[in-house]
Amino acid sequence: MPYLRPRHNRVFTCLLAFSASFFSSLTYSEPSLIGQSGLIAMPDARIDPDSTWRLGLSHAAPYSTFWSSVTAMPWLEVSGRVTRIAEVPGFPGTSFEQTYGDYKDKTFDMKIRLIDEKRYTPALSLGLQDYLGTGIFRANYLAASKRFGEVDLTVGMGNGRIDGAFAGLRYMPAWLPAVGLSMEYDANDYSGDYGAAQSGVAVHEKGINLALQYQHGPYAAQLSRAHGEWGINAHFRIPLDDKEFVPKTAEPEPYSRIEPRPNEAAWLAEPIFQRRMVKSLLEQDFRNIQIHYKQRHLSVNLTNTRISHMSRAIGRAARIVLALAPRETSEISITYSKQDQSLAIYTFVDLKRLDAYFSGLTTRRQLAATVLIEHASPLRNATVSDENDLLDGLDEQKTPLRLADDDTGDVVAFSYGDGFYRQLRIAPKLSLFVNDPSGAFRYDVHASASFRQRVTKGQYLNGALRLTLAENISQITTRSNSLLPHVRSDVAEYKRAADLKLDHLIWSRYWQPGHKMYARASAGLYEEMFGGFGGQLLYLPKKGDWAADFSLDWLKQRDYKGVGFRAYSTTTGIASLHQRFPQYGLTATLRAGRFLAGDEGLRMELKRRFRSGIELGAWYTITNGNDITNPGSPSDPYNDKGLFLSIPMSSVLPRDTQGVANYAISPWTRDVGQMVASPGDIYELLEKPLQLDMRDFDGLQEFGDVNDDYRLPAQPASSP
């Protein structure tokens, strides 16, 4: 199993801040000691409700396990675990035996529900344990479960570690629903476990296990007795399909002031009325505002630096524009932009119905029939901007420098700027590196001072300076023996060379070369290990839930101290096809091309976006790199793979924000299948506003600052 690194850039623990009431009306399965739904040590056929995520810790000597499982689809449960085996050395007979400690194994499991439980028939599930990993806990099984009143009965058959038939039952008394009793016949063949003689499990025989479990809201624990030993398994659940976990108690109220509206003549003659509208939009975190009025049609071009949903931002802007527009206005168009590129145009042709919706006098379904949603074209974008140069001189828009609130979930942060034209941010960061032979746990704590500056329209400069505060990665003594160019595996050398380092410094230009085409050009120091120049082109089709992009970069490897360059240089070219399946919340991405080490091949990604906005996914890469470093071999080269998690901070903070916490578990001493950190991936930038907000439901999600979604098939945006 490769060494794994979780990469953290936000506070993960804020996910715990949600109410237990979310769980009060649901019935859940229970996890076994390894995290897969089951009884005690044995599995069952149960799967938690769709989009349920569980995190837990268990101990049953000699095994201590940290595990996580998620119901990725209504019929699919995936889980991963890290298991420590006491008294079994991790690297026996090597110099790392004393420093590494006990053996630690990483394992991925899967359960597929083949048949749902019916009135007279049981649920039937197929399970795979340790299907990705070292294989020391590998087992396959079929399990059937059927409820009879307060008793849930399970029978099954397995092979591998689960050796033969198993059975069990769980009793959940209706008069005491928080408590349950479990009993099972444990069919595990412990004698075949890795280090069984040293750990003591070689003497464990098949037999009866008993357990008592207790559940309170999202929290649950199980106390078990097996093989003469006590065991414990504690966990909590997170409902990923809840839109938010924390009430928006700190969210600014929508615009509600009643102002006298000017007539058309006064609006055109007196700039004060346009300035009043701009000032009100600025107060609601809108930036880059341009306004154009002609023949009773009011056009507004803007972006928002805080609100997470484009449709919600459009709704807040529409309130202000409607309240302050000339009285003769018959139609309003609001164009939403990002990085100075206009993305979508919302045109409101029935202003009386729009006003009635904001007043609660009509429904969203009735409003949707009067709203035209289009992809913005570069020609229309230019027209609006050129005719509104007057508003660029507003002091409120040019110099809104201020101390900004923390909307990103950092433990502590200092932020200064306007969030659009310029921003300086100082915050601590933490990276964790696990399972190096010279030490099972490695960390890197550093302070990051990042800045962002809008140079001119469509051009941005951003960078970050990092100061190492504490780390032990530089103590790693193993050196990579990879036969590929060392594009990632020399990470310890980069951490060891200097405490103060320019992490990245990038100039980027964004523009729209054609309708539904977006482009980026970048140059500079992309990341800690590479600098260079290149670009990306994205195409969105007129119809269909897919997109395609191509990125091309010439790169040169930076030296360890970050002040110069090493001899290695390369050109990477990656073509990507993204296909959405909105009915399932899935996005599949296929990438093909040339990677950092010069290897060529395919990278496959699959992710699911839940109603909360949280995304969970995985990737697997196959190239001709032939990485034979253990566990790879000449006959079976290692392939790059990993898991990733994206958490929108708006779901866990008391106010809306565009901040996102990204986490990944990925190999950190591998060179095969690696990609350079993108200086500004266009698909990631535009996926949410154009592929999600604009297309899902009717394009008006949270438009009125209320949750009034009505179920419709995903609606494609209309095209001119």
The pLDDT tens digits for 535-553 are 999 999 988 899 999 999 9
Residue 165's SS3 state is strand
Could you tell me the pLDDT band of residue 22, with boundaries at 50, 70 and 90? very low
Residue 297: which of 255, 262, 334 has the closest Cα?
A: 334
Predicted pLDDT of residue 432: 76
Over residues 579-629, the pLDDT tens digits come to 999 888 999 999 999 999 999 999 999 999 998 899 999 999 999 998 877
Asked if residue 291 and residue 196 are part of one domain, the reply reads no
Residue 696: which of 681, 678, 711 has the closest Cα?
A: 711
Could you tell me the pLDDT band of residue 284, with boundaries at 50, 70 and 90? very high
Q: Give, in order, the Cα–Cα distances in Å from 434 to each of 143, 428, 472, 473.
A: 34, 20, 11, 10
Mean pLDDT throughout 74-99? 86
Is residue 571 assigned to a domain?
yes
Is residue 377 assigned to a domain?
yes
The answer on pLDDT for 265 being more than 90 is yes
Mean pLDDT throughout 24-53? 87
Four-residue CA torsion sign, 264, 269, 270, 274:
positive
The answer on pLDDT for 86 being more than 70 is yes
Predicted pLDDT of residue 434: 67
Asked if residue 441 and residue 387 are part of one domain, the reply reads no
Asked if residue 314 and residue 233 are part of one domain, the reply reads no
Q: Give whichever of 131-135, 281-285, 634-638 has the largest mean pLDDT.
A: 281-285
Could you tell me the pLDDT band of residue 711, with boundaries at 50, 70 and 90? low
The total domain count for the chain is 3
Predicted pLDDT of residue 28: 59
Could you tell me the pLDDT band of residue 385, with boundaries at 50, 70 and 90? very low
Asked if residue 550 and residue 465 are part of one domain, the reply reads yes
Predicted pLDDT of residue 718: 40
Long-range contacts at 540-546 (CB < 8 A, ≥ 24 apart): 540/375, 540/516, 540/686, 540/690, 540/691, 541/516, 542/516, 542/719, 543/716, 543/719, 545/579, 545/580, 545/581, 545/582, 545/691, 545/695, 545/714, 546/577, 546/578, 546/579, 546/580
- How far is 86 from 154, CA to CA, in rounded Å? 31
Mean pLDDT throughout 522-532? 97
The answer on pLDDT for 26 being more than 70 is no
Could you tell me the pLDDT band of residue 719, with boundaries at 50, 70 and 90? very low
Asked if residue 203 and residue 277 are part of one domain, the reply reads no
Could you tell me the pLDDT band of residue 687, with boundaries at 50, 70 and 90? very high
Asked if residue 310 and residue 277 are part of one domain, the reply reads yes
Domain containing 353 — which CATH number?
Answer: 3.10.310
Is residue 288 assigned to a domain?
yes
In the chain, the percentage of residues whose pLDDT exceeds 90 is: 65
Over residues 326-344, the pLDDT tens digits come to 999 999 999 999 988 999 9
Is residue 249 assigned to a domain?
no
- How far is 342 from 458, CA to CA, in rounded Å? 11
Is residue 718 assigned to a domain?
no
Asked if residue 298 and residue 193 are part of one domain, the reply reads no
Residue 57's SS3 state is strand
Predicted pLDDT of residue 617: 93
Could you tell me the pLDDT band of residue 199, with boundaries at 50, 70 and 90? very high
Residue 95: which of 380, 354, 408, 438 has the closest Cα?
A: 438
Q: pTM for this one?
A: 0.87
| β-bridge partners, 60 | 63, 231
Asked if residue 581 and residue 435 are part of one domain, the reply reads yes
Asked if residue 439 and residue 326 are part of one domain, the reply reads no
The distance of Cα 339 from the centroid of its chain, to the nearest Å, equals: 21
Predicted pLDDT of residue 691: 86
- How far is 664 from 640, CA to CA, in rounded Å? 13
Could you tell me the pLDDT band of residue 476, with boundaries at 50, 70 and 90? confident
Asked if residue 284 and residue 214 are part of one domain, the reply reads no
- How far is 376 from 336, CA to CA, in rounded Å? 9
Q: Give whichever of 477-481, 671-675, 693-697 has the largest mean pLDDT.
A: 671-675
Q: CA 545, 551, 552: angle at the middle one, nearest 5? A: 160
Asked if residue 278 and residue 224 are part of one domain, the reply reads no
The answer on pLDDT for 166 being more than 70 is yes
* Amino acid at the residue 710: Y
Range of 444's domain?
429-475+483-502+525-675
The half-sphere exposure of 654 on its side-chain side, counting CA atoms within 13 A, is 5
The answer on pLDDT for 238 being more than 70 is yes
Predicted pLDDT of residue 63: 97
Higher pLDDT, 653 or 229: 229
Is residue 348 assigned to a domain?
yes
Residue 310's SS3 state is helix
The answer on pLDDT for 78 being more than 90 is yes
Q: What is the mean pLDDT of the chain?
A: 87
Domain boundary among 222, 239, 256: 239
Predicted pLDDT of residue 125: 98
Q: Give, in order, the Cα–Cα distances in Å from 291 to each of 52, 300, 302, 378, 381.
A: 45, 5, 9, 17, 12
Domain containing 49 — which CATH number?
Answer: 2.40.160.40
Residue 718: which of 545, 583, 579, 543 has the closest Cα?
A: 543
Mean pLDDT throughout 561-587? 95
Could you tell me the pLDDT band of residue 479, with boundaries at 50, 70 and 90? confident
Mean pLDDT throughout 78-107? 85
Is residue 87 assigned to a domain?
yes
Could you tell me the pLDDT band of residue 682, with boundaries at 50, 70 and 90? very high
Could you tell me the pLDDT band of residue 19, with boundaries at 50, 70 and 90? very low
The answer on pLDDT for 14 being more than 70 is no
Predicted pLDDT of residue 348: 98
Predicted pLDDT of residue 1: 35
Predicted pLDDT of residue 593: 98
Which residues lie closer than 8 Å to 635 by C-beta, 6 or more apart? Answer: none
Could you tell me the pLDDT band of residue 10, with boundaries at 50, 70 and 90? very low
Category of 31 on φ-ψ map: left (φ > 0), alpha (ψ -120 to 50) or beta: beta
Number of CB atoms found within 10 A of residue 142's CB? 16
Predicted pLDDT of residue 133: 79
Over residues 206-224, the pLDDT tens digits come to 999 999 999 998 999 999 9
Is residue 40 assigned to a domain?
yes
Predicted pLDDT of residue 9: 43
In the chain, the percentage of residues whose pLDDT exceeds 70 is: 88
Asked if residue 595 and residue 462 are part of one domain, the reply reads yes
* Amino acid at the residue 344: A
- How far is 211 from 285, CA to CA, in rounded Å? 54
